[in-house]
């Protein structure tokens, strides 16, 4: 199990916020844009079909 855990790559996400401090765009470290599923905290990565839960706290 320890070996499997260490085999995952670190993935960072970069978000773009609008003037109302709402997350409007989200990119992973490979510069792929995730698609927001309206009305939820979920974002879909089209290249893999994986859905991520993203709860945001805007820090100015």
* HSE, side-chain direction, 13 A CA sphere, residue 4: 1
In this prediction, residue 44 carries a pLDDT of: 97
Q: Write out pLDDT tens, residues 11-53.
A: 789 999 999 888 999 999 889 999 999 999 999 999 999 999 9
How many structural domains is the chain composed of? 1
User: Is residue 5 scored above 90 in pLDDT?
Assistant: no
Asked if 28 and 36 count as a contact pair (C-beta separation under 8 A), the reply is no
pTM of the model: 0.73
Q: According to the model, what pLDDT value does residue 56 have?
A: 76
15 in a structural domain: yes
Asked whether residue 60 is assigned to any structural domain, the reply reads no
Domain extent, residue 21, equals 2-53
Scan for tokens 């309206």, then name that residue: 38
Q: Does 11 fall in a domain?
A: yes
Contacts of 32 (CB under 8 A, 6+ apart): 45, 46, 47
Please classify residue 43 by burial: count the beta carbons closer than 10 Å to its beta carbon, then call 0-12 exposed, 13-18 middle and 19+ buried: buried
Q: Is residue 23 part of a domain?
A: yes
């Amino acid at each position: 199990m320890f070996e499997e855990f260490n085999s995952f790559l670190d993935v960072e996400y970069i978000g773009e916020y609008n003037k109302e401090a709402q997350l409007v765009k989200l990119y992973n470290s490979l510069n792929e844009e995730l698609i927001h599923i309206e009305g939820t905290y979920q974002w879909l990565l089209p290249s893999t079909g994986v859905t991520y839960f993203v709860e945001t706290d805007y820090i100015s």
